[in-house]
Amino acid sequence: MVNKVLSAGRKSSLFFMLALASCTSTQTQTQSQQTQAAMEQKKEKTNPLLAEWTEPYGGVPAFDKMNLSDLKPAVEKGMALQLAEVEAIANNTNPATFENTIVPLEKAGQELSRALTYYGIWSSNMSSPEFRAIQAELAPQLSDFRSKISQNEKLFQRIKAVYENAQKNPLPADQQRVVQLVYEDFAMEGANLDAAAKARYAAINKELSSLYTDFSNNVLADEENYVTYLTKDQLSGLPESFIKAAAKAAADRGQEGKYAVTNTRSSMDQFLTYSDERALREKVWNTYYSRADNGDKYDNNANIAKILELRDERVALLGQDNYAEWRLQNRMAKTPDRAMDLMNAVWPAALARVKEEVADMQAVADASGKKITIAPWDYRYYAEKVRKQKYDLNSDEVKQYLQLDNLTQALFFTAGELFNFKFTPVPEGAVPVFQEDVKVWEVTDKTTGAHIGLWYLDPFARQGKRSGAWATTYRSHTTFDGKKTVLASNNSNFVKPAPGEPLLISWDDATTFFHEFGHALHFFASKVKYPTLNSGVRDYTEFHSQLLERWLSTDKVINQFLKHHKTGEVMPASLVAKIKKASTFNQGFTTTEFLASALMDMKYHTVDPTGIDPDKFERETLAALNMPKEVVMRHRSPHFGHVFSGEGYAAGYYGYLWADVLTSDAAEAFEEAPSGFYDKEVAAKLVKYLFAPRNSMDPAEAYRLFRGRDAKIDALMRDRGFPVPGQQTK
């Protein structure tokens, strides 16, 4: 999420994964009463959101049959069906084995998984007040459901028996890894606690589920409720493409003749970069960065305090000193100290660069006669002017070569070169979609023509869609119960252009587009047998997507796809040279705004949160870090959805930097290869060791197999133009 928001990866526990992941078929044969009951329930079901997905393409979601009135009963029925399956596993009287315990657990929950696919669409892509009311009712029910699985004593004892037997008599490698991950997930969720502690643990999870929902909906409410409207005399400096899109956004909101700056990152970022109206820049900046921090019914500060206290209490039940210690034990970093060491190694260089950048911007402002001191709402605006001055690089000029349709083709070309994938448009109407702007492509093997899956693209911002960009799966690849092909999606928030106008995006947005497609390729490349192995390690899965960003600036992509939207001419070599020369430009701002959020996340989760005041804690922590007054956290606490709308990135936002170390190091492996970024041998190793295995092997070992050694921080520092530790600067 830069707004690489909530990219798909491992959820906070197996139990959440069981509820949300694409699982395979239903319970294997057993004579238990629970299985019989489950089968009877399945026969009765008529809810379209529970129905098995039918052809074409191995079965696809029935998005054309989505009716909000079906959602709550579908989720409730799906939970009941899965609990019956789990009870059947737990009450099996035969000695626990991989085949009679782990395999049926991997298969459980197909109906619920389908229902939650639709739930996820309503939540992320097309939310409404009616949905949010249902979401508020379902959140605690889903929490109870997960607790009933994680705290099923009979089930855990069977899992534990399989795990202990596997320690003595190892299973095949993929089965051994599944058993390890399943056991660790149950243990991390308190399966070893006594009855009283389990009850409190479940109660905490239930309360947290409602707080997460409230937090997320509060942010969305402020994004929907706050729009800055401009008049024609307030458009100075704004690009034509932005003006046309802003006019359409205003008209869509009943404000014909005005221009709307919506309260989303893509709209805010463009306005702050180009608008000559300083007072309006300040207003737009304050509106965006004060989301859910306005002292009204949508304020999230009380939610944050309660979330932190409950998380701390919950991990204390497990004997952990703090939430971060618990969270990182199965991540690549392993401990909060290791994560902090990495961030602290980069932070001083980032601060030093910010000081230089601000000095450059202040000089430009002074030279133009502006009697101002650079403030946060000036940073993007004057950075753009410095970029033009230092590198003769105009961001709006670059945008003329970045048309979304061409960039989409660039994604497909890159996938073909590295992964041997071919993307073919699915005829309109052949596959149901949940919104008319969603387009679908079939993914096949270029050589054999074998079907791999479908790729859905939902590119435009709209009311009810959360901000940012993300990737997700509707169905993951597995082979243990019949081959399942991949259904994956990418979701963006580009401002929809006026009719007949091309959609031109910034270089940063194009980079993010490649990034999120990297997640999709990670899904499509999967070669694992069991669903659990499709899970991700949060500070590792971002590596794959961050690495794919590098192909945007390769010669083959530039020469074929970065063409002027009017003339069709390829981006000139002189402009490409400017872009590459300026690649380390503004890295002080970019690194500092990110690291401030990552450090804040880790600080929140390593202190005693009793009586914490998030507003005060944020201010005091940033002051202690010497945060420059001209830069703000990328995600201020009240709208830090990565961390407080769920647990996927809680105590884990540092993971983008951890992954960036791997990214920079891996990119140098391509740079050193005979054919550069299109070297077939290095690409084959990339797919074999880093993409196809998913979580079937330890990430650190997988990286060593690819690179021949562990990653080093040196390449990251070079990429950002920072001094490399231990090397003298000239």
DSSP assignment string, 200-211? HHHHHHHHHHHH
Q: Which residue has the tokens 């949060």?
A: 538
Which pair of structure tokens corresponds to residue 31?
Answer: 């004579």
- Per-residue pLDDT of 561-596, as tens digits, reads 999 999 999 999 999 999 999 989 999 999 999 999
Banded model confidence at residue 123, pLDDT cuts 50, 70, 90? very high
Domain 301-393+585-644 in the same topology as domain 14-217: yes
pTM above 0.75, yes or no: yes
Rounded to whole angstroms, what are the CA distances from 469 to 407, 409, 490? 16, 19, 8
Which pair of structure tokens corresponds to residue 303?
Answer: 């939610």
Tell me the C-alpha distance between 708 and 704, whole Å.
5
Percentage with pLDDT > 90 across the chain: 89
Q: What are phi and psi of 372, to 5 degrees?
A: -135, 160
Banded model confidence at residue 467, pLDDT cuts 50, 70, 90? confident
> Which pLDDT does position 615 carry in this prediction?
97
CA-CA-CA-CA torsion for 603, 607, 610, 611, nearest 10 degrees? -40
Which pair of structure tokens corresponds to residue 647?
Answer: 């647990």
The CATH label, of 3.30.530.20, 3.30.1540.20, 3.20.20.70, 1.10.1370.40, for the domain at 14-217 is 1.10.1370.40
- Per-residue pLDDT of 399-447, as tens digits, reads 999 999 999 999 999 999 999 999 999 999 999 999 999 999 999 999 9
The residue type found at 223 is E
Decide: helix, strand or coil at residue 502.
coil
Q: Which residues contact 701 (CB under 8 A, 6 or more apart)?
A: none
Q: Which residues contact 74 (CB under 8 A, 6 or more apart)?
A: 47, 49, 50, 115, 118
Domain assignments of the chain as residue spans, ordered by start: 14-217, 227-289, 301-393+585-644, 655-719
Tell me how long the chain is.
730
> Which pLDDT does position 728 carry in this prediction?
52
> Which pLDDT does position 24 carry in this prediction?
29
Q: Which helix (H) or strand (E) holds 155?
A: helix 153-168
The residue type found at 102 is I
Longest CA–CA separation in the chain, Å: 84
Rounded to whole angstroms, what are the CA distances from 613 to 229, 604, 618, 633, 646? 34, 11, 9, 18, 20
> Which pLDDT does position 536 carry in this prediction?
83
On the question of pLDDT at 3 being above 90, the answer is no
Sign of the C-alpha dihedral computed for residues 352, 357, 363 and 366 taken in this order: negative
Q: Which residue has the tokens 């083709």?
A: 409
Residue 723: is the preceding peptide bond cis (ω within 30°)? no
> Which pLDDT does position 622 carry in this prediction?
98
Please give the average per-residue pLDDT across 489-508, as a whole number: 93
Percentage with pLDDT > 70 across the chain: 93
> Which pLDDT does position 1 carry in this prediction?
36
Tell me the C-alpha distance between 13 and 147, whole Å.
11
Tell me the C-alpha distance between 541 and 489, whole Å.
16
Q: Are 631 and 379 in contact (CB under 8 A)?
A: yes
92 vs 15 pLDDT, higher one: 92
DSSP state of 57: T
Rounded to whole angstroms, what are the CA distances from 452 to 139, 471, 515, 525? 34, 17, 20, 9
Tell me the C-alpha distance between 634 and 611, whole Å.
25
On the question of pLDDT at 632 being above 90, the answer is yes
- The phi-psi region of residue 635 (left if phi > 0; otherwise alpha if psi is between -120 and 50; otherwise beta) is beta
On the question of pLDDT at 730 being above 50, the answer is no
Which architecture does CATH list for 301-393+585-644?
Answer: Orthogonal Bundle (1.10)
Say how far residue 242 (Cα) sits from the centre of its chain.
26
Q: What are phi and psi of 343, to 5 degrees?
A: -65, -40
- Per-residue pLDDT of 343-393, as tens digits, reads 999 999 999 999 999 999 999 999 999 999 999 999 999 999 999 999 999
- Per-residue pLDDT of 20-77, as tens digits, reads 333 323 233 333 444 445 444 544 447 999 999 999 999 999 999 999 999 999 999 9
Q: Count Cα neighbours of 426 within 13 Å in the Cβ-side half-sphere.
A: 21
- Per-residue pLDDT of 184-213, as tens digits, reads 999 999 999 999 999 999 999 999 999 999
- Per-residue pLDDT of 65-116, as tens digits, reads 999 999 999 999 999 999 999 999 999 999 999 999 999 999 999 999 999 9
On the question of pLDDT at 13 being above 90, the answer is no
Quote the mean pLDDT of the chain: 92
Which pair of structure tokens corresponds to residue 473?
Answer: 């799966």
